[in-house]
Amino acid sequence: MKSIKNITLTLLLFVCISSLNAQIFNPVKWSFSSKKISETEAEIYFTAKIDKGWHLYSQHIPENGPIPTTFTIEKNKNYQLTGKILEPKPIVENDPNFDMVLKFFATKAVFTQKIKLLTDKDFSIKGSLNFMCCNDVSCLPPKDVPFTIKIDNSTGSVESTKTSGSLAADTGAKKVNATVITPKKDSISAEGIATDTSDFDKMGLWGLFFFAFLAGLTALVTPCVFPMIPMTVSFFMHEGESRGKSIFKALVFGFSIILIYTLIGTVVAVTLGVNFANFLSTHWFPNIFFFLIFVVFAASFFGMFEITMPSWAINKADKQVDKGGILGSFFMAFTLVLVSFSCTGPVVSYILVKSASGQVLEPIIGMLGFSIAFALPFTLFAFFPSWLNRLPKSGGWLNAVKVVLGFLELALGLKFLSIADQTYHWGILDREVYLALWIVIFTLMGFYLLGKIKFVHDSEVKHVGVGRLALVIITFSFVIYMIPGMFGAPLKVLSGYIPPQQSLDFDINKIVRENSTANTTATEVCEEPKYGDFLDLPHGLKGYFDFEQGIACARSQNKPVFIDFTGHGCVNCREMEANVWSDPKVLNILRKDYVIITLYVDDKKELPKEEWVLSKYDSGLKKTLGAKFADFQAYFFNANAQPFYVLLDPFVELKDKSVVDKAKLTNTKAYDLNVEHFVNFLKAGSEEFSRRHPAQ
């Protein structure tokens, strides 16, 4: 789950406000207006006037930055939104508050939304916007501003309807039947489930594009696709046809492949979005479904059966090919996509599932990269048919590729089952079971590459080439690397992709810790931790999984609180625990100086009815443990990504958002694998607590 670096800068001036004779800062003032630009269209304007020295952030802010300006417009039968909200050209400079280059506006900014008029009567458009502003040294908290914009359909007059002049409280009211226009990556659904955007968010759009491009190149050597290259290219090389016409048809063919795959990504992006990504990330049904899909494809690749598209679909597309011309080239591309589905389906699905994190661009960019790589050789060979003679012939090596992909799919499919298992506490895939399965799978793959195991369609391996030998060495080295993990080795390289170490039954490191005299300084819990029967802390640490219980213990021990917002499906959380928490300096501070409260935001544990929480953030009723703590994080800390770490003074009661800055001991921290940064973070909190509460 992605981090939001220094998100608490959004609340810095609350303390300053109370110390400056209750002076209220209102550096950004909003006004709203409309203008009819044709008989069927109008524009609505959101105008921000910004005080000197202050700046308002753009809608388009990179990860780990401040809160972007976002707009929520309620749906109405009288109009339809056309396109996205446009903004003026921003200033692009380094922002000292976040130490990164950001887009923002100074003095004035006008945002424009075009609408299509569906009535000739007058009506109003309602909604709200959320924004954040800073000067060169500090920031104000994010703020909601409601608006009502009148559309005078009869005369088309311009009317400013409401301005914002006060620092209104952020109510977080739930928007009903609204179209939300927002560039933010992470979101919390009605059930408070947090998404893990994981590796693809760390890549960025260019990284995702190149990953998908490589996936497209990999798909080309699958047995469903590779034999089709010469067969497909021959379509463009009809005798008597001019070279220019063949090249034109080849270009249409290549662009058609790109269009078909990119269209798939666009449909996923537009129709599914954030809540679908939340559902995919933690609910048992999609995770079990994808696990079974990977198992089925693996069985097919091993030769148990053949997966093909329905013959009627392929035949119908194939008939269109015979028509020739542009249409024929398009349907040739469409036929290729259908026929190659059994090999490209898992790759395409993986890209879509991992990239569909609530953004429109990610699935489109992913499919664009995949399709360009996939279409490239077909188009190039159509341009230069003599290259075909240099290709290796189809044969046993292609089936070997297929079988190896089967082993990999079987191993990767376990990740989906593991997420569901951890979230719902089924106890099926503890760490040692997961590792045992991976060790067996990759050992069998190594023996297969050596020719010691044969499947139905395999050719005899008379000798092992250099390429195969390299793969064998890599595979068996990976197996040997995993074996110590069965006995407690941290396996830091795999920490984000295998179950947490605390699920291991036989952990030598844990046994050593429990018998070590060095552990005598560890923080002792005041009472048995609530939910401790199914939740654990890593590295033998002791703490709580309930906020109220942890706060009570911290008060009794006169210690500060370390809050760890985490999730079962959070890859970055596991990486932090394996690579940062495991450092002796970090462990020593956590054990001696803090009371640890770990809050799982994606846990599906059903709460008793008397513990259900009515959200102050979105007014929803939170019935599960994860939903309760996801809502807690969103309301008090305006963040919903994990890992997210907060150091609190337990003697400041968190009654509402106005006391958050007073309760915090230092700025919050998110995903950062630099151990020294984390040590400094913990020391800063401990020193601030000692300053506030000197030892008696």
**What are the backbone dihedrals phi and psi of residue 345, each rounded to the nearest 5 degrees, phi first?**
-55, -50
In a domain, residue 424? The reply is no
* pLDDT for position 129: 92
Residue 82 corresponds to which tokens in the numbers above? 């056309």
* pLDDT for position 29: 92
**Surface-to-core class of residue 584, CB atoms within 10 Å of its CB (0-12 exposed, 13-18 middle, 19+ buried):** exposed
* pLDDT for position 112: 94
pLDDT in tens, 146-160: 899 988 876 544 444
Same-domain status, 165 and 256: no
pLDDT in tens, 197-249: 344 445 567 777 887 788 777 777 654 565 556 556 555 555 445 666 667 77
Q: Among residues 147, 181, 215, which one ends one of the domains?
A: 181
Q: Among residues 181, 212, 243, which one ends one of the domains?
A: 181
In a domain, residue 522? The reply is yes
Least trusted range by pLDDT, from 175-179, 502-506, 638-642, 681-685? 175-179
Same-domain status, 211 and 107: no
CATH of the domain at 607: 3.40.30.10
Same-domain status, 325 and 244: yes
Please check the confidence at residue 66 and state whether its pLDDT lies above 70: yes
CATH of the domain at 176: 2.60.40.1250
* CA distances for 167 relative to 26, 119, 131, 142, 580, angstroms: 6, 36, 12, 10, 39
Pick the more confident residue, 100 or 22.
100
Q: What element of type H or E holds 162?
A: none
- Report residue 389's pLDDT band, with 50, 70 and 90 as the boundaries: low
Same-domain status, 601 and 568: yes
Residue 656 corresponds to which tokens in the numbers above? 């509402």
- Report residue 121's pLDDT band, with 50, 70 and 90 as the boundaries: confident
Question: DSSP assignment, residue 193?
Answer: P
Q: What is the pTM of this model?
A: 0.47
How many distinct structural domains can be found in the chain? 3
Please check the confidence at residue 685 and state whether its pLDDT lies above 50: yes
Same-domain status, 299 and 352: yes
Same-domain status, 268 and 384: yes
Same-domain status, 177 and 210: no
Strands (E), 601-656: 613-614, 621-622, 644-648
In a domain, residue 615? The reply is yes
In a domain, residue 403? The reply is no
Pick the more confident residue, 54 or 394.
54
pLDDT in tens, 295-352: 887 887 787 876 554 555 455 545 554 455 567 677 777 766 765 654 565 556 656 5
In a domain, residue 405? The reply is no
In a domain, residue 494? The reply is no
Pick the more confident residue, 444 or 299.
444
Same-domain status, 617 and 650: yes
The Cα 146–Cα 151 span in angstroms is 17
pLDDT in tens, 135-185: 876 677 778 888 999 888 765 444 444 434 333 333 333 333 333 333 333
Same-domain status, 53 and 160: yes
The Cα 535–Cα 608 span in angstroms is 18
The Cα 406–Cα 441 span in angstroms is 10
pLDDT in tens, 76-89: 888 999 989 999 99
Q: Among residues 149, 181, 213, which one ends one of the domains?
A: 181
Same-domain status, 278 and 357: yes
Give the structural domain span for 289.
198-391
Residue 219 and residue 340 in contact, taking contact as beta carbons nearer than 8 Å: yes
Percent above pLDDT 90 for the chain: 23
Same-domain status, 148 and 48: yes
- What sign does the dihedral 162-168-172-173 (CA atoms) show? negative
Helices 396-424 & 273-282, crossing angle to 10 degrees? 90
Least trusted range by pLDDT, from 10-14, 122-126, 477-481? 10-14
pLDDT average, residue stretch 383-398: 58
In a domain, residue 320? The reply is yes
Residue 343 and residue 402 in contact, taking contact as beta carbons nearer than 8 Å: yes
Same-domain status, 275 and 321: yes
pLDDT average, residue stretch 473-485: 93
**What are the backbone dihedrals phi and psi of residue 125, each rounded to the nearest 5 degrees, phi first?**
-110, 125
Please check the confidence at residue 537 and state whether its pLDDT lies above 70: yes
In a domain, residue 110? The reply is yes
